[in-house]
Chains A and B, each alone.
Chain A
């Protein structure tokens, strides 16, 4: 994901060393956020049994609370580990960062694409710490990546040495299925006054979701002309590498005037969608993040 070079936002509100509130996490243990020459840089440490793994530095796209905002309240970034693409979406609220990761396998290993959501608080106001001692290697970026699950005991000497793209016998493994029934259907905004999307339809299978969104017929809508319909392809993510019911989806689009990232997750029937919009039309509008909630009004036949 390219950096936000058009209108740089003040990322000092995000800067610092953020640590997971769950100190035993096998997901993201910490994020170091720094602002260098107006660019927001993240350095993530993935949690693992024998200690955190350094994911390295990546440039983030920052997002304000609205199109007139000058202060970053959220960010998106992507790590390409070769075997895995991890998209991060986050926003700050009440002293915490709420972080989602969308993890998309590229190595043919028997692991389902998965989603996480976690909460981090700011331990240190200044970022710029050194990376974690461990590295991303052997098809593992963090404990959750292991097919055996986070409770498996793997010795430090085993870490990063076992290729996961094929079984010991060399045959290709079957990738666990993500059941998209939980996230497919027609959804309507809980907020009838929303300036965002009024309705969306989600159809298709795990890596081939088709998402159709109808923008609100309101002057404040930034998603195109009033009542516009927007079609985006997306990917469903389960709760773990073992597959099962879809927990969320990620969808991205690039139009003539804006780039959209839709990061969605399901919570007790409520579909929460974070929209990260970046404008490329020279209008001077800030990239921004917004949140909408949807309830399902119809299951697709």
Chain B
């Protein structure tokens, strides 16, 4: 049958059908039957039937598959949903986040739960003796208390909910249950008996049926004792058949109990029987007896009655609601049970009454669905509960004062994101920050926490609508890597080569399970032994062998955002094809355009290189080019702005001295923000000549563009995305002579410098953090906050 176009307002959770422990039991059956009846009779109300993404779908939901409304709870669009109905809230094997997803509250969904019984609470000494289990069970009862509507299966369960959970009566609706369609009166009882006797070896023509589990609460001991109290004529005339799955030791125990009671010879134990055989037994028995001390509903009684069986049972809990008073007995009294059995078997008036009882209209699933639908309608008529106004987003990232470009980038991004959502920042890499520099800093209004508390904090705050992990190839991101393994989310990848992240995060609990070599091996099975067994991979070796170590992160993440087409393309080569479409590109953001920057054309001929001085940046090249530049532009000078290791400084100084240009070269070392800005404002030309790339975008080039310093760049990696009219490009293998010509031409052509700077500033204006924040919100956070109800499954 084709699905209606518009989804209804009610999300029905049917994960009980998937449960390992309940799959073949009453709760799973109830769930499947009610869901099918709701779809059959009230489909405009149904938004979807949701499954637990951590568990496999069972065969019993076949009718729901045909509805076209079956979905996993962690994906799909639930924006039209207004009610969440949990059919099995007390399923302790399932984490509560899968049961009652945080998004159900943050999006303002009303909560409906089905309450089958409070048996563990009523018999706490027996069922909740284990303190851990007790605590878990009672926590789930809090979930029941939190519900807007509690659907009870019986008046007895409803009373228990009022008395024991103190739930207001007006929030409880008794909806009942019913037997499955196969449980019906026989066309001919005689034929049923013949079929039953053929299916159950040893079954006599006249028998009394009892079905139950081995739980003491089912009271089969009392039934045995009562059977022994019956007149011998009755015992000889009728066989007692106890249908129940049991293993051999249990069977031995039951036989022993029967022997003690003196009824062994009149007891038949066929073990587990199929539904079809059970139906035959109900249809052909002379009496069904159900002495259970306590039930939430009493499904066997409903099934027996549906099959037309004469039925007697306990006059306690919910069982009495299904029977006429004359068909009940005190289950605590062996004499009362024996008397009731004898009357039901030998007294014509009682038999007639029990026949009449079985001819009454029996509960149906359509009726249950009608009552459930009415309760939905009543809830839907109420005003919608308040929903979270703005998404609550967690960002795991290094923050200032960490010596990381990502830290500064994230600070600016968080500043702009505040306009769209509420933020919690989890400061990563703190162990690598000198405590003397102070605590991690976030923009005003953004709470700062430690990454290891991400999951615990999410629980306490009622869930995050989105979690963003900022990753780069350094020791500052180990916390993000560890948490990504526990809680799925969006990865904002500043670099796509993550070899150093893995190598340097071994001391972060849970970040690199098994160590670097194990992770490397799991991602790349066929590496040469010398590389595969390494504890760290030098960048040159990683570049040469093509190792990124990004595949695992992509597999763990819901989406991976990179900031250049180059990074996206390179990353897609590292991952399996099914993960490739998780990768998306958003534009890199630099600093805001510097107002009142010195006009490019008017700047002194200062050539600057910004950022850490090292071999990959090819800082020796501009020094080697400087003599030729000075010939054409005698006032020129070179400034290397940024931290520089002593060995690098000595090497470069020796080169400058050898070339006779040492007085024209300045090393600033590490600089303050103000000094950095000052050099940006003074430099006419910036040389940023990376030799290799890890997929990162250069923050320093973005700074140059924003400040009007004309960058000369190698067009590698993300450098290809830079504007043609805003930068001057050279090859990655540019020679000193070629560079000298480019530099001298540029220094000599003030007009061209002015045009390039103007274009660069336009580019920077379109690539601000404000622009990026808006796009991150619209293209990443909002879709994540809308998609699914529960947290995406960890792959």
Chain A partners chain B: no
